[in-house]
Every structure is written in C-alpha cells, then in structure tokens.
Amino acid sequence: MELPDFPLLLAPMEDVSDPPFRAVCKENGADLMYTEFISTEGLIRDAIKSRQKLDIFDYERPVGIQIFGGDEEAMALSAKIVDATQPDLLDINFGCPVKKVVCKGAGAAVLKDIDLMVRLTKACVDNTSLPVTVKTRLGWDDNSKNIEEVAERLQDVGISALSIHGRTRAQLYKGDADWTLIAKVKNNPRIKIPIFGNGDIDSPQKAKEYKERYGVDGIMIGRAAIGYPWIFREIKHYLATGETLAAPSINERVNACRKHLEGSIKWKGEKLGILEMRRHYANYLRGLSHVKEYRSRLPETEEEDYILSLRKALTGEALSYEIAPSDYNRMGEVEAVVVGDKGQSPDFLYIGCSDSRVTAEDLMGVGPGEVFIHRNIANMVVSIDMNVMSVINYAVRHLKVKHIIVCGHYSCGGVKAAMQPQDMGILNPWLRNIRDVYRTHKDELNAIESEEARYDSRETAVTHDLLALLFSYAPNYAERGLKIQLLCGSGEANMRPFGKCRIAASIPG
C-alpha cells in the first residue's frame, strides 16, 4: 500500500462513510479511506447491517475496514472475516465515545483498561495478514490521559499506524481538540510507526498550521468532509502552493450532490438513500437559493412526495415517468384478467435463476400446472427479501407443495459479477448475498485453479439457499408430517446428503 508523504485520511464515521460518500471523497483527493465501523459481534453473528459494511471496491483503494468490540475471541474471528474481504488494512476503533458502544465495553471504553486493549489488538494482529492500525483518543477523561502509554504498547504488539483524536471520551466532540499530546506521541523517540492527527481540521490553513506545529505524519478528516468533499483537494493545493483554491462553483456543488445522491439511491434504494443523505445537504446546498425551501425541511421530513420533489430540484428534471390523465383512460380500456389458484395444486416449488435459456418445465420434464416457479438473479433464497419469502410462504402454506427445488446453473452472470470486485450499482445489495457466500468459502473456491470453474461452483451457494429454506419453513413441514432431506449436487447422479434434521420436508435440490 503506497501513500503520499503527507496523506489525508477520511475518518470512519457511522452512517456516513458508506461507499457513495467514499466515492465522492476519493474523487476529491482523499488518500486513504475507511468503512463505517463494524461490530465484531455483528460480524460473527452474520448480522445483515454488519456484513453490508464489508463491501469495498477497487476504485476506493487504498481502503481499510474498521471494527470495534470488547471480546478477544470475537476480535480474532472478525479479523479473519475482514482478511477474507481483502481490504488494504484492518483498523480497530478504540475511540468511539457513543454511549451504546461504550456500554458494551467497546470503543473508547477500552481506554480504561490498556491491558485489555493490548490483548484485543494482538488478537487481530495474530489473525490477519493485513496491516493493523488503531484509532483512539487521548484517554477516558482529563484525569486519565494515557495515550503515550497506549502508543508504545500497541506498537509493541505490531500495529502499523496510530490515528489519535485530540479529545478524551468525556469531552465527546465538545471543546477544542488538544494536539499537544498528539505531538508528544509523535516526538517520542520510541515511536517508529506513523502518527495521524484528528480533530478540528476544517480548513486548508489549519491543516498547514497543524502539520508544521505538531509534526504529524498525516491528517484524518471527519466532520469537515460531510457534504464538502472538496476539503481534501483544497488542503492539498494549499500545502503545495500556499494559495487558497477557489471554492467549488454552484454547478460543481449541485453535480457532486447529485452524484452522491444517485449513488446513495443505488446503494440503499430510493427512499432510504435520499433520507440518509440529509446530513450532507446543508453543506452541499449552502447558498443555493432555489432549494432553500427544501433544505429548511430536511431534518424532519420523511414524506415520499417531498423526497421526489427534492430530487427534481437537484436534477432540474423529472426523473421518473408520470402518467398523464389521458393515459389513465387508455389503461382503463384494457381488460384485466386475473387468474386465481383454482385448480392449481403443484407438488413442486422451483426457485431458479432469471435465465432465458431453459424453462423449469423443460428442465424437470413436467407440464404446465405441475410446478410453481420463482426466478431471481443467481437463484438466491434471502431470508430478508420480501419477494422470495412471499413466494415461498404462498407455496408452502397455501399451495402446500411437497418439494422445493433450488436450481443453480453454470455460466451465471450474477454469480460472476458478485465474485469480482466491481461496483454493480443498484445490484450491489442483492449480489451482496453471493459475496457473503464467497467470503465464507474463499479458501475452498480460490483453490480451484480455473477461473471459469470457480464461477461455475454453484453447489456452495445452493447449499446456503437450502439452509435458509430449512430454518424458515421446517415447522410448516413438520406440521404436515413430511420429512426434511437436504440434497445438494450437480445432477441426479452426483446428489449427496448435506445434512439431516429431525423435522420435516422433502427438499431435493
């Protein structure tokens, strides 16, 4: 990992440092970025929110994944999970002052027990091939500023760099950051690792002043970058020339906000993507009179009509098709035919990929009406997806199917896309489920020499789909007195038992 002589780092910020935000900061000069911090307990439980934060992309590099926790075993396991994701470094958060984190004995709470901090750090260093860095604070409060001891002891167990926020936990974000202690750590002759300073850097002039006064190896910028990613390029220009770079034009600001907004929508969906942009709007839109009315309502609104109107204000055009009254009349002339389930009693539910090359009926050798069909990209069974779970619920509870088949196939474009480090836009949240399977079985899959053969290894993903079915619908099959048999393989001749369960259904797959 290569960094410039004086790198500018984007601080990891919860609910802020997501991929769309990192993208605009990278474009404007951030040298090293971090994900939002991830709970180690959430990672080892495979919690949805935690695993979503693992997604990184090549255009972001160098990028680090930050974790937090207070349990050595969870730290060690999480380090292995992060290692499989292949970021450029693993960062540990020992500085978050938020109550819900501190109450769990994590974040800044660890500043009260340096021995524990050392053990937690060593657990990570010993279980990853990645460089391990730490972000922390001066101490718990004014009476326990122990950052000098922390720096020496963490260096001794193998960290590669240390970022220090110039406040104690007791200060939260109040008062001025004290960089004098950061400078003492940097000037300690025992300290050989890079020391990055953090806190109150909100202008190019202050960045230059603090660089020269305190001698740090780089600066980490957090809140000043929210809605103003140009802070990185402005600091770089000022450090190089001593001149203040012109502020971004109105067009540049609107375009950057629009790009960030569109990225957020692709990543999180329209409503959530726009709502979670609220913290950025004030800085992006400062001085733009034509959106003043919208901006004043941002903190409290969640109305979908308002969200759409804000989006139009930023783009200057309607981004979604609106049906004119005359269209309703034409639509009313079309007779709607609703087909109920009368006479429908299929024995099979088939879950397959959205692939056009073969029908489920042809594949199974059955006729119309014998199989209930659901298709999606990469034939996934995702327990939080309302679409697939509604189909399964209807098939199991109402149609009372006896068999569920999850069918994968070779040359699946969705699987190939998920196993490559590329940004797939709106598909990212869906393909994340395949990426998680890849991370879990990374060693096994990477041992397959042929890249194409690796992409064709569908059994692993199908097995995960079958287990999702088992845990979701086993009780319903038990009530009907059916037996569960999980089979996985590529073709009838290769089917092998995957596992046994005392309850319920015939699910060949």
Show me where the domains of the chain are located.
8-247, 251-315, 348-507
Average pLDDT over residues 167-191: 93
Q: What is the pLDDT of residue 234?
A: 95
DSSP H helical segments within 353-497, as ranges? 360-364, 386-393, 413-418, 428-440, 442-446, 451-455, 459-479
- What is d(CA 79, CA 127) in angstroms, rounded to the nearest whole number? 6
pLDDT-based confidence at 388, cuts 50/70/90?
confident
Q: What is the pLDDT of residue 48?
A: 72
CATH says 251-315 is which class? mainly alpha
Across 179-188, 271-280, 353-362, 433-442, the highest mean pLDDT is recorded for 179-188
333 against 175, higher pLDDT: 175
Q: Which of 25, 96, 257, 488 is catalytic?
A: 96
pLDDT-based confidence at 480, cuts 50/70/90?
low
**355 has binding-site annotation:** yes
- What is d(CA 442, CA 435) in angstroms, rounded to the nearest whole number? 10
Q: What is the pLDDT of residue 442?
A: 66
Of all residues in the chain, the percent with pLDDT exceeding 90 is 38
**202 has binding-site annotation:** no
Q: Average the pLDDT over each of 30-34, 50-54, 279-283, 486-490 and give the range with the smallest value.
A: 486-490
Cβ–Cβ under 8 Å, residues 261 and 18: no
Q: How far is CA 366 from CA 55, 348, 404, 487, 505, in A?
A: 41, 10, 15, 20, 21
Q: Taking 60 as the threshold, does the pLDDT of residue 105 lie above it?
A: yes
For the question of residue 96 being annotated catalytic, the response is yes
Q: What is the pLDDT of residue 285?
A: 72
> Which tokens in the block code for residue 455?
């992409």
Cβ–Cβ under 8 Å, residues 133 and 159: yes
**353 has binding-site annotation:** yes
Tell me which of 1.20.1250.20, 3.30.420.130, 2.40.160.10, 3.40.1050.10 is the CATH number of domain 348-507.
Answer: 3.40.1050.10
Q: What is the pLDDT of residue 270?
A: 78
Q: Taking 60 as the threshold, does the pLDDT of residue 302 lie above it?
A: no
Mean of all residue pLDDT scores within the chain? 77
- What is d(CA 314, CA 332) in angstroms, rounded to the nearest whole number? 34
Q: What is the pLDDT of residues 215-258, one digit of tens each?
A: 999 999 999 999 889 999 999 999 999 999 988 887 788 788 88
Q: Taking 90 as the threshold, does the pLDDT of residue 383 lie above it?
A: no
Q: Taking 90 as the threshold, does the pLDDT of residue 416 lie above it?
A: no
Q: What is the pLDDT of residues 186-199, one digit of tens each?
A: 999 999 999 999 99
**Taking the CA atoms of the chain, what radius of gyration do you get in angstroms?**
27
pTM of the complete model: 0.62
Across 24-33, 305-314, 356-365, 407-416, the highest mean pLDDT is recorded for 24-33
Q: Measured between alpha carbons, how far apart are the two ends of the chain, in Å?
A: 44
Q: Average the pLDDT over each of 137-146, 232-241, 277-286, 368-377 and give the range with the smallest value.
A: 277-286
Average pLDDT over residues 303-321: 48
Of all residues in the chain, the percent with pLDDT exceeding 70 is 68
Q: Taking 60 as the threshold, does the pLDDT of residue 291 lie above it?
A: no
pLDDT-based confidence at 409, cuts 50/70/90?
low
Q: Average the pLDDT over each of 148-157, 289-298, 414-423 and give the range with the smallest value.
A: 289-298
pLDDT-based confidence at 295, cuts 50/70/90?
low
pLDDT-based confidence at 2, cuts 50/70/90?
confident
pLDDT-based confidence at 68, cuts 50/70/90?
very high
Q: What is the pLDDT of residue 256?
A: 85
Domain 8-247 has CATH 3.20.20.70: yes
Average pLDDT over residues 317-340: 32
Q: Taking 60 as the threshold, does the pLDDT of residue 473 lie above it?
A: no
> Which tokens in the block code for residue 431?
């393909």
Q: Name 285's Cβ contacts closer than 8 Å, sequence gap at least 6.
A: 253, 254, 257, 291, 295
Cβ–Cβ under 8 Å, residues 441 and 460: yes
Q: What is the pLDDT of residues 195-215, one digit of tens each?
A: 999 999 999 999 999 999 999
Q: What is the pLDDT of residue 276?
A: 80
**403 has binding-site annotation:** no
Average pLDDT over residues 176-184: 94
Q: Taking 70 as the threshold, does the pLDDT of residue 421 lie above it?
A: no
- What is d(CA 247, CA 23) in angstroms, rounded to the nearest whole number? 20
* Residues 251, 253, 255, 256, Cα dihedral to 10°: 160
